[in-house]
Chains A and B, each alone.
Chain A
Amino acid sequence: MANYLAQFQTIKNSCDHIVIAVEDVSDLWPNIKSGFEERVPIKRASLNNKTRNPVLVENFPCEFILTTDSRLRSRFPQEQSLFWFREPYATIVLVTCEDLDEFKTILKPRLKLIVQNDEKEWFIVFVSRAHPSNDNAVKMAKKVYAKLEVDFSTKRRERCCKYDIHGPEANFWDDLESKIMECVRNTLDRRVQFYEDEIRKLTEQRFMPVWNFCNFFILKESLAFMFEMAHLYEDALREYDELELCYLETVNMPGKQREFGGVDHGDDWAALLNHENKPLTQIVQDDSFREFEFRQYLFAYQSKLLFKLNRPFEVASRGHSFIIGFSKALTLHENMLPFCMREVWVITACLALINATASPNFDGLVATDIEKEFYRLKGDLYSLCRVKFMRLAYLIGYGADIEKSPVNSALLSMLTWPKPPVWPSVPLDASPEVLEKEKVILQATPKIKHFGIQRKPLPLEPSVLLREANRRRASLSAGNVFEVFDGRPALIDGSASDASSRTPPSKKMNAISMSRTNSSPGTFDGSVDRPMRLAEIYVAAEHALKHTISDADLWKALSSVVEFEQKYLELTKGAADNYHHSWWKRHGVVLDGEIAAVCFRHGNFDLAAKSYEKVCALYAGEGWQELLADVLPNLAECQKMLNDQAGYLASCVRLLSLDKGLFSTKERQAFQAEVLRLARSEMKDPVPLDVSSLITFSGNPGPPLELCDGDPGILSVTVWSGFPDDITLDSLSLTLTATFNADEGAKALRSSTATILKPGRNTITLALPPQRPGSYVLGVLTGQIGQLRFRSHSFSKGGPADSDDFMSYEKPTRPILKVFKPRPLVDLAAAISSALLINETQWVGVIVRPIDYSLKGAVLYIDTGPGLNIEESHVIEMETRVNISQSSAEMTNSNGTQKDCSLASIKEFQQLKLDNGRIEFPAWASDTDSVIWIPVRAISDRLPRGSSSVTPQKQSNLDGMRTIALKLEFGVSHNQIFERHLFNHPNLKNHIALICRTVAVHFTDPFHVSTRVADKCNDGTLLLQVILHSQVKATLTIYDAWLELQDGFIHTGQGTGRPTSSFFPLMISPTSRAGIMFSIRLGKVIDKDEVEALQTESILNIRYGIYGERTNGAHPPVAVDGIETEDARQDLLFKSAIVLQRPVLDPCLAVGFLPLPSTGLRVGQLITMQWRVERLKGPEDNGISEHNCKVFALVISVGVVYYLLFLSLSIGTGEVLYEVSANSENWMLAGRKRGHATLSTIQGSRIVISVLCVPLVAGYVRPPQLGLPNVEESNISCNPPGPHLVCVMPPALSSSFCIPP
């Protein structure tokens, strides 16, 4: 059946659509042909696929061919069955008839004859030629057609339709199409069934010796072709897939190995999409096909169908795996194929696939996944093509122009060399080319990387080409390859790295000298036995490839370095773009890097930098540092070339921040040198740069620095420097960010002095200005190196410095600084609360109590209030304030440091000088409680006044109150002082911590004096008791006391008013009292000087001494002159004024109102008012004055103490004038209102004066009053006093008053 192959192919080529036969019985076709052919291709057709499921086919193509046509007539029956697929699928019988008889007699038998063949699917089209206006003809035609239907249509199937030539009915064409399709469908089903049966039969015999793949192939492909003609591409594709499977099974059957093929010229040019590449007859061998051609043939058909199905992505995916699989097959047969046939084929195949699937129009018709996959496959194809292309280029000596990048190295170094049976040898006439190549090799200088980075170039070959090529050649000749090789290593190319590492140095020397001699044309003889040199290998490969490659474009691409690079770029770009489309960013970006390398080599630094940036961003973002280390220097160099200083600096910094192991110290130093060179000299304008990866910082481990509000401080920060050498920072600043206060801007701490950072860990201290209360974390580190302004955001771990982790993203930021809310830092208080002596120099103690805060360098300003002076000439003392607990604690603490463990040594004491109102604190006082003793004198020019026993002492301390304003300036450092506590200046920015405090100090006299007349003796002597209250917490000793009396008083006897001296010294304990009795009497009074006498005061003088501790209260006055002898008794004088007064008179008569009757008063009722007048003084008392009684009272200070009464009555008369006065409206008086009553002059004599009176009105009325007109009112004592008002009842009811109205 293989003989039919040629015919089969011809048939296939000639017919590509379904044929519909037209049996033109009545010669109608020429008339209606155009109408019919307009209908094709049929818009919508329903067919059954192989599994008998209906499939809708659009634009179904078919051709009408008359049965009389030669194409249908000239076929042999044998051919018919074999190529059945080309036979008509339907037969249309065209008839017309206008006469029933004619129909019955002629037409019907003829038709019966035509349709009797069962194999045909037929139907009848009755063409009516009757004009519509001709009713008769129309009727006739209808009749004939009806008859036709009766005869030929069955119940199961309509086989007739009527076509009106003058105007077909509306549904005729639909009817026709459906009838055609019905026939086609039936025919197709039947034929499919036939082919399937045949194929099944053959399949069953597959393992029999007679089995012939060609037969199977023709049947299978016929079926596939039939499907294809019917537009059932899916089924066709499945047939081809099955065919391929079957072929692969049979072709590799042991014992049936056949020729592989691929040795013809042009076979290297992949024909995987070109099914017409070779006629089948050329590839058939025995009963099967050559694999090389046939597999491509099958794939070509498959891809053709896939394109028809609009599935270019499937072409790509199948194509990719086909290329991979086919490449393996080529490898197996490589020794039979031309040199590098495999590589060339893969390149051309990939390019063909890429071109075929160049611009698919997805338009969202396919899922994103498929689209991505498609682009990925195309990327893979490009990539594959690129690799093979590089391999070829390397073989002909363009290796120096291939970037030795990780991707190229990975791709090429694991790709085996081509394995020709014999490595091509140099053609005889190629010596000039060899020379040329050799020159190129010699001139090629290994690319020096920027920064002097020295890396072993990555290999681009799986093993040394030199050895590989020579081995393959030498396999023909005798001799040990390796000996030969080692003896003559032509190690010119750096790529021969493996060999060079194994070659001893001595031989290496030899190699260089040898290579020179070898390169001379004289030694070249091209003999087989002599190993080839590299240049020779290149030339030989070039020639061999020229022979292999039939694609002119491909050869052109390999013909020169320029062309090679162009093609290489094209492929790389294609791969990169497609990978990017497929979201395989890593693949894409890596290839971008390769493009960049080419751009870089050609000086197109702009493009190169852009691409390199992408690559670097990818690697840096994902932290693949080794890969980054490879590409980053290139980027840096681009940036340098472009004069992109910021970028270049950033790259340098990134290079520095890579793992230390990736670059040698020397290289890292080079990076740093570049940074410094740019920063210090080259740059004109400041350039900002983020060095977060290089310089990191953190607070010191441990608790954060704690500061009081407003205090400055010193912040210590650990800064890690990634620079390999010391680096000098011109300035450095660090921001602090408040953790709880977002709106508060970060504050920068600045250190303007140059800082030198050592590599690794550094501790930087920064002055910290006062901060607001809160918690702070480190913000950002900024600094300047020359014109470079760098900033770093990264916190480093507080871990060990040798950790190579500079960064830690997820480390929570730790507060570095805590500033506490304002609180009292120090307390100033008066040391004692008890009173001090007024008018004496006294120590006032001020307790300075730091509250967990150092008072180092504090200055106290003292300002005294009115009435208080500081004895500036005297020293001020300062001592530690010791309380019990503190002293015991200090005792234990100081054991180690101080030998002398006495209390005195613990207690600090220092004398300070008051300088212009300020005292500087000594150092020891900074942390401990201390007391400052200030000598002050409270001045009061008021003479203290005594009080009497009847008017108690007024508790008024205000007189003795004095204030001392204290202002304490303190703070952490001397120059920065702040202000706080009691006193807050909102606008005060001068950093002064001030405590302004007014300390009240109470000053008092030593005594308070009160007096009372203890007794009034009959002889006029008054015993005046003076009571001394001690006012101070000190023991007072009275040495002497005397009273200077005012006028009108004299001391009894002739004394000076001093008590008996044996009483003294009189000790008065603190706050107790003592009394001194003075005996005085009234002296003469000068009448005219009464007023003056009243103002005169008696002065009590007391000379006393005081013993007391200043820590308790009052104490002996400070010796201002400085000469202070402890034994010397200090006698102090106390003076107090005592006032004695005598202005008061004395009553001599007493008038008493006698009680009224208990029955009460009633209007109109008589009542007797009675007053008793009593003489209080007898005439003998009147010894001082004749007429008017003078009464002296001893008045002390405030009031009358005592009365003396003297009567002014004339001794002779003994009568008293009285007068009763009353309101006449209220009272009616009976009897004498005014008269004299006799009253004996003897003391105690009394009379009663009674007046009869009648109340006139009811109510509360003022009663009548008794007056004594002759006696001064002051001499009358009313006792018991008369009532102010009396109640008068209304009159009792009486008939005499009852007058009827």
Chain B
Amino acid sequence: MTTTACFIIVSRNDIPIYEAEVGSATKREDAAQTHQFILHAALDIVQDHAWTTSAMYLKAIDRFNDLVVSVYVTAGHILCVFLNSYTQHILFGAYITLLNPLYLPGSRIASSHFDTKVRALARKYL
């Protein structure tokens, strides 16, 4: 089964710091933009919900036809936004990265190692 999935990490000032299209479906050229749009729009909802609940994992916070957006809000209000996918493993990897003392808050995650890891995890668990 092919899935469309996207994983994105958004810093606390709403700037995407990492993006990965992790779905097994063949990537459509135009999908990225659409996914970006959907995830971006979902931030409106996250901003409303994140403060109303103590839960960090906001499951299926937004739906866009078939696409489901889930968000994991870290304590530092960094959002790990999952489109159509949620796996603890990716989350954990992302979390470790953000805990890295050498990580400059707000900067983009440019590590290719991290990217490879996320994609590998996605292949494995999605």
8 Å CB contact of A626 from B14, B33, B43, B44: B33
CB–CB B41/A590 < 8 A:
yes
The reply to whether the CB of A1094 lies closer than 8 angstroms to some CB of chain B is: no
Q: Which of A577-607 contact B (CB under 8 A)?
A: 579, 583-587, 590
Nearest CB in chain B to that of A624: its residue: B40
Nearest CB in chain B to that of A410: its residue: B34
CB–CB B36/A414 < 8 A:
no
The reply to whether the CB of B67 lies closer than 8 angstroms to some CB of chain A is: yes
A803 to B43, CA, bound (A): 28
Given A410-B37, A627-B33; A585-B104 close (CB under 8 Å): no
8 Å CB contact of A409 from B30, B43, B45, B105: B30
A458 to B34, CA, bound (A): 9
Given A622-B15, A808-B104, A810-B105; A414-B41 close (CB under 8 Å): no
CB–CB A627/B37 < 8 A:
yes
**For A627, what are the chain B residues with a Cβ–Cβ distance below 8 Å?**
33, 36-37, 40
A1148 to B33, CA, bound (A): 136
CB–CB B33/A415 < 8 A:
no
**For A622, what are the chain B residues with a Cβ–Cβ distance below 8 Å?**
13-16, 40, 43
CB–CB B34/A413 < 8 A:
yes
The reply to whether the CB of B106 lies closer than 8 angstroms to some CB of chain A is: yes
Q: Which of A789-803 contact B (CB under 8 A)?
A: 803
Tell me the minimal C-beta distance from A594 to chain B in angstroms.
Answer: 12
Interface centre among B33, B43, B48, B106 (most CB of A within 10 A): B33
Given A586-B40, A586-B43, A623-B15; A458-B107 close (CB under 8 Å): no
Return the CB mask of B85-119 against A: 1 if under 8 Å, else 0. 00000000000000000001111101000000000
- Counted as pairs of residues, one from A and one from B, with CB atoms less than 8 Å apart, the total is 77
A1132 to B57, CA, bound (A): 107
Tell me the minimal C-beta distance from A20 to chain B in angstroms.
Answer: 49
Return the CB mask of A73-84 against B: 1 if under 8 Å, else 0. 000000000000
Tell me the minimal C-beta distance from B58 to chain A in angstroms.
Answer: 16
8 Å CB contact of B33 from A406, A587, A804, A808: A406
The reply to whether the CB of A630 lies closer than 8 angstroms to some CB of chain B is: yes
A808 to B30, CA, bound (A): 29
CB–CB B64/A626 < 8 A:
no
**For B30, what are the chain A residues with a Cβ–Cβ distance below 8 Å?**
409, 456, 458-459
CB–CB A409/B34 < 8 A:
yes
CB–CB B15/A805 < 8 A:
no
CB–CB A587/B14 < 8 A:
no
A409 to B40, CA, bound (A): 15
**For B14, what are the chain A residues with a Cβ–Cβ distance below 8 Å?**
621-623
8 Å CB contact of A586 from B41, B66, B104: B41
Tell me the minimal C-beta distance from A1191 to chain B in angstroms.
Answer: 106
A1187 to B40, CA, bound (A): 138
The reply to whether the CB of B50 lies closer than 8 angstroms to some CB of chain A is: no
The reply to whether the CB of B56 lies closer than 8 angstroms to some CB of chain A is: no
Nearest CB in chain A to that of B35: its residue: A410
Return the CB mask of A392-414 against B: 1 if under 8 Å, else 0. 00000000000000110110011
CB–CB A456/B29 < 8 A:
yes
**For A585, what are the chain B residues with a Cβ–Cβ distance below 8 Å?**
44
**For B36, what are the chain A residues with a Cβ–Cβ distance below 8 Å?**
406, 624, 626-627
**For A207, what are the chain B residues with a Cβ–Cβ distance below 8 Å?**
none
Q: Which of A409-423 contact B (CB under 8 A)?
A: 409-410, 413-415
Nearest CB in chain B to that of A585: its residue: B44
The reply to whether the CB of B2 lies closer than 8 angstroms to some CB of chain A is: no
Given A586-B41, A622-B15; A410-B105 close (CB under 8 Å): no
Interface centre among B34, B104, B108 (most CB of A within 10 A): B34
CB–CB B37/A414 < 8 A:
no
The reply to whether the CB of B20 lies closer than 8 angstroms to some CB of chain A is: no
A802 to B67, CA, bound (A): 36
Q: Which of B31-67 contact A (CB under 8 A)?
A: 32-34, 36-38, 40-41, 43-45, 48, 64-67
Q: Which of A1099-1115 contact B (CB under 8 A)?
A: none
**For A590, what are the chain B residues with a Cβ–Cβ distance below 8 Å?**
37, 41
Nearest CB in chain A to that of B10: its residue: A622
A623 to B13, CA, bound (A): 9
The reply to whether the CB of A809 lies closer than 8 angstroms to some CB of chain B is: yes
A422 to B48, CA, bound (A): 44
Q: Which of B1-34 contact A (CB under 8 A)?
A: 13-16, 29-30, 32-34
**For A458, what are the chain B residues with a Cβ–Cβ distance below 8 Å?**
30, 33-34
CB–CB B40/A630 < 8 A:
no
A585 to B108, CA, bound (A): 24
A809 to B107, CA, bound (A): 9
**For A810, what are the chain B residues with a Cβ–Cβ distance below 8 Å?**
104-107
CB–CB A415/B40 < 8 A:
no
Nearest CB in chain A to that of B108: its residue: A805
A803 to B34, CA, bound (A): 26
**For A804, what are the chain B residues with a Cβ–Cβ distance below 8 Å?**
110
CB–CB A415/B65 < 8 A:
yes
**For A808, what are the chain B residues with a Cβ–Cβ distance below 8 Å?**
104, 107
CB–CB B44/A584 < 8 A:
yes
A803 to B112, CA, bound (A): 13
CB–CB B33/A630 < 8 A:
yes
**For B106, what are the chain A residues with a Cβ–Cβ distance below 8 Å?**
809-810
A230 to B37, CA, bound (A): 51
Tell me the minimal C-beta distance from B5 to chain A in angstroms.
Answer: 14
CB–CB A414/B67 < 8 A:
yes
A583 to B43, CA, bound (A): 12
A456 to B66, CA, bound (A): 23
A809 to B106, CA, bound (A): 8
A456 to B31, CA, bound (A): 12
A372 to B32, CA, bound (A): 30
A805 to B32, CA, bound (A): 21
**For A413, what are the chain B residues with a Cβ–Cβ distance below 8 Å?**
34
Tell me the minimal C-beta distance from B12 to chain A in angstroms.
Answer: 11
**For A415, what are the chain B residues with a Cβ–Cβ distance below 8 Å?**
65
Nearest CB in chain A to that of B52: its residue: A369
A627 to B30, CA, bound (A): 11
A622 to B67, CA, bound (A): 22
**For B13, what are the chain A residues with a Cβ–Cβ distance below 8 Å?**
622
Q: Which of A613-660 contact B (CB under 8 A)?
A: 619, 621-624, 626-627, 630
**For A624, what are the chain B residues with a Cβ–Cβ distance below 8 Å?**
15-16, 36, 40
A810 to B66, CA, bound (A): 39
CB–CB A414/B104 < 8 A:
no
Nearest CB in chain B to that of A623: its residue: B15
Given A586-B40, A624-B36, A627-B33; A803-B15 close (CB under 8 Å): no
**For A586, what are the chain B residues with a Cβ–Cβ distance below 8 Å?**
40-41, 43-44
**For A626, what are the chain B residues with a Cβ–Cβ distance below 8 Å?**
32-33, 36
Tell me the minimal C-beta distance from A137 to chain B in angstroms.
Answer: 73
A579 to B45, CA, bound (A): 11
A809 to B13, CA, bound (A): 12
**For B107, what are the chain A residues with a Cβ–Cβ distance below 8 Å?**
805, 808, 810
A623 to B16, CA, bound (A): 7
Interface centre among A456, A586, A590, A621 (most CB of B within 10 A): A586
**For B41, what are the chain A residues with a Cβ–Cβ distance below 8 Å?**
407, 586-587, 590
29 contacts between A and B (CB under 8 A): A372-B48, A406-B33, A407-B41, A410-B37, A410-B64, A414-B65, A414-B66, A415-B65, A458-B30, A458-B33, A584-B44, A586-B40, A586-B41, A586-B43, A586-B44, A587-B41, A622-B14, A624-B16, A624-B40, A626-B36, A630-B33, A803-B110, A805-B107, A805-B108, A805-B110, A808-B104, A808-B107, A810-B106, A811-B104
- CB-based closest 3 A-B pairs: A623-B15, A414-B65, A406-B37
Binding site for A on B (CB under 8 A): 13-16, 29-30, 32-34, 36-38, 40-41, 43-45, 48, 64-67, 104-108, 110
- Using A808-B104, A811-B104 as known contacts, list a sample of 10 further A-B pairs with CB atoms less than 8 Å apart, ordered by residue number in A: A372-B48, A407-B41, A414-B67, A415-B65, A458-B34, A579-B44, A590-B37, A622-B14, A624-B40, A626-B36
